[in-house]
């Protein structure tokens, strides 16, 4: 299960951000306006599990029906619930786990605040709360899913920009929507994270510009993919070191 966020119909109302805070009892820390846009939460963080980005930009050449030279791009970002999640791989306490819905959740009572997961996430999703030091992020409303409900953010979105459901169905919908936009002449529309072979995401997006414009990495990497061989190399090195120590000890005893 996961999300398809179609940014082409987002109106920037922030109902998703508010619904997430209300349902999950996330502290309502409201920041300052950035000065660059009407955004007062700036990024995903320990107290912002959904973040609606507002990007003011000059209309790229070729966009049909552009009535001015400035446009707004709006996009509701969230944890990607990666199908190969590096945050989960590096957590030493098992606080991060994969649920029966295929999503990735942090157990607040198991997290010890070591912070290893934070640099492992290629999207800057995980963050420690200043007051308790533990890592927090979107749970994909695990409690609601267990109760047969849809996530609070998807339910609150008035334009269906956030759609929740089985990933295969969502990918089909997303491809249909992309085709429709291309036929309508919106050539810059593209899917981000929908191709499992590139980087599997349980939350993928339809964007109207390059991922970097929305603050998303163009080519995210599973930094832990080589962990098995790294651990193997570390074990070999440790073995060689131990053998050296034994040899020195035996040699010194003669």
CA distances (Å), 177 to each of 123, 160, 172, 190, 204, in order?
Answer: 25, 12, 9, 10, 13
Tell me whether residue 81 or residue 178 sits nearer to ligand SF4 (CB atom).
81
Window 55 to 114, contacts with ligand SF4 (CB under 6 A) = 74, 76, 78-82, 85-87, 104
**Is residue 211 involved in binding ligand SF4 (CB under 6 A)?**
no
End-to-end CA distance of the chain: 66
**Is residue 145 involved in binding ligand SF4 (CB under 6 A)?**
no
**Is residue 141 involved in binding ligand SF4 (CB under 6 A)?**
yes
Dihedral sign for Cα 227, 229, 230, 235, please: positive
Q: How far is the CB of 9 from ligand SF4 (least distance, A)?
A: 7
**Is residue 24 involved in binding ligand SF4 (CB under 6 A)?**
yes
Tell me whether residue 162 or residue 207 sits nearer to ligand SF4 (CB atom).
162
Nearest alpha carbon to residue 77 among 54, 50, 116, 58: 50
Nearest alpha carbon to residue 191 among 167, 171, 166: 171
Give the C-alpha separation, 157 to 11, whole Å.
Answer: 10
**Is residue 181 involved in binding ligand SF4 (CB under 6 A)?**
no
Nearest alpha carbon to residue 215 among 58, 42, 95: 42
Q: How far is the CB of 176 from ligand SF4 (least distance, A)?
A: 19
For 246, the 3-state DSSP assignment is helix
Window 26 to 55, contacts with ligand SF4 (CB under 6 A) = 49-50, 52
Residue ranges that bind ligand SF4, judged by CB under 6 A: 10-16, 19-20, 23-24, 49-50, 52, 74, 76, 78-82, 85-87, 104, 121, 123, 125-126, 137-141, 151-153, 156-159, 161-162
């Amino acid at each position: 299960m996961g999300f398809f966020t179609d940014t082409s119909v987002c109106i920037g109302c922030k109902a998703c951000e508010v619904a997430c805070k209300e349902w999950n009892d996330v502290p309502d820390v409201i920041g300052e306006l950035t000065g660059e846009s009407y955004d007062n939460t700036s990024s995903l963080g320990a107290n912002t599990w959904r973040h609606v980005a507002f990007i003011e930009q000059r209309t790229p050449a070729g966009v049909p029906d552009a009535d001015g030279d400035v446009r707004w791009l709006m996009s509701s970002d969230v944890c990607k619930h990666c199908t190969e999640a590096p945050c989960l791989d590096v957590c030493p306490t098992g606080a991060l786990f994969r649920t029966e819905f295929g999503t990735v959740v942090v157990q607040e009572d198991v997290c010890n605040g070591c912070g290893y997961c934070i640099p492992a996430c290629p999207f800057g999703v995980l963050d420690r709360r200043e007051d308790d030091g533990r890592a927090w992020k979107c749970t994909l409303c695990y409690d609601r899913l267990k109760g047969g409900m849809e996530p609070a953010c998807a339910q609150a979105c008035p334009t269906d920009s956030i759609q929740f459901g089985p990933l295969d169905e969502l990918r089909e919908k997303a491809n249909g929507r992309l085709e429709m936009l291309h036929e309508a002449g919106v050539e810059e529309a593209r899917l981000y994270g929908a191709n499992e072979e590139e980087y599997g995401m349980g939350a993928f997006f339809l964007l109207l510009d390059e991922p970097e414009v929305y603050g998303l990495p163009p080519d995210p990497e599973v930094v832990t993919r080589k962990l098995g061989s790294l651990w193997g190399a570390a074990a070999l090195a440790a073995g060689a070191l131990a053998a050296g120590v034994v040899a020195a000890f035996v040699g010194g005893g003669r």
